[in-house]
Amino acid sequence: MQRTQVGIIGCGPAGLMLSHLLSRQGIESVILERQTRDYVEARIRAGILEQGTVDLLRESGVGERMDREGLVHDGVNMAFANRLERIDFQARTGKAVMVYGQTEMTRDLIESRLAAGGEIKFSAPALAVEDFDTSHPRITYEEAGQRKELGCDFVAGCDGSHGVALQSVPEERITTFERVYPFGWLGILADVPPVDDELIYANHERGFALCSMRSPTRSRYYIQCALDDNVDNWSDDAFWDELRRRLPEQAADNVTTGPRLEMSIAPLRSFVAEPLRFGNLFLAGDAAHIVPPTGAKGLNLAVSDAYYLATALAAHINDDQGDLLDRYSDTCLRRVWAAIRFSWWYTILMHRFDDDPFSHRLQVAELDYLSRSEAAQTSMAENYVGLPFDATFA
């Protein structure tokens, strides 16, 4: 049986960042990933990095390509009632966000871990986490058709809400909270220039729309759709027409159309598991929580989880101080619920929930207030650019 100090399940942002930060503290880890490397590096995911995430990537030595290719955004646009209003993050908080795709960050972290001699076992699905209430937990996994075991001192479950880490916890020891939203996002990726230099979030009677980008020549657009919709129902032209209908005229006129590189529908839900520690098993990233993408929080919560857990494990292993490890769950959950609240508020503000014109007028009234109130803009900007994460947050 192979042994390591920290066994990590999942090669997403949480697992990779955790392994990277542990390595910088001289702590060994092994990542188990069920998919191939090509599959992991091709997954299309979010692309907004909070200021804290950007700072951590830089400080930990994996921010060079991000700084070279990422797009700094000092604000965001809110579209409603055929108006376009900008929220200035720099003016309200002195901070910004970075547009840099999760796909790119994942590639950077994988390359860094392998170059440093880190071990990532691709095509090695974890099957179960065992003995996590003891000092010698084990991860059972499969590799090349053979059943194997990884012995470790600690296990980090970073394998999503349907992964084996969460499934290994007895039901009576965990509480989950969930809210499923009655719509999805139909998204298209296309090699066309963005509508604007910054993101546009649109509230419209026909439903929500979002204009975002991956680079100056590649754009990512979304429109609210029914949960039972199907991409086969949408031609490229139909998507572009519907997107333009939901934007103010000045933005709609700037839409450049082109053939899709990818089109998909993503359901929206909020999910939180409590607690996040079970003996020597710790949950992080999507295994611990999921937020609707409206607030751009999922990737950033995964990174902050990794930071908290790496800091706590290093204090315990290197300095024999276990207080941060004892507080890991509470520390993370305080920030998680703050992000859940913001994402929920932003989602109900921007999306169409029913056909009631009264509801839509209330949304427009709140957006109008947001456009005029410095206090409201500061609150939104603080949450969007990211609440601070450090070991003393709790």
- Active-site residue set: 73, 201, 293, 297, 384
Q: Return d(Cα 177, Cα 159) in angstroms, integer.
A: 18
Token pair belonging to 333: 């959950």
Q: Quick check: helix, strand or coil at residue 83?
A: strand
> Alpha-carbon dihedral of residues 50, 345, 305, 17, nearest 10 degrees?
-40
Measured at the CA of 160, the angle between CA 155 and CA 163, to 5 degrees, comes to: 70
Q: Quick check: helix, strand or coil at residue 180?
A: strand
Token pair belonging to 36: 């191939």
End-to-end CA distance of the chain: 38
Q: Do you know the residue count of the chain?
A: 394
Nearest to 119 by CA among 30, 6, 4: 30
Query: H or E segment at 48?
Result: strand 48-49
Query: Do the Cβ atoms of 194 and 237 come closer than 8 Å?
Result: no
Token pair belonging to 46: 């979010």
Q: Return d(Cα 248, Cα 245) in angstroms, integer.
A: 8
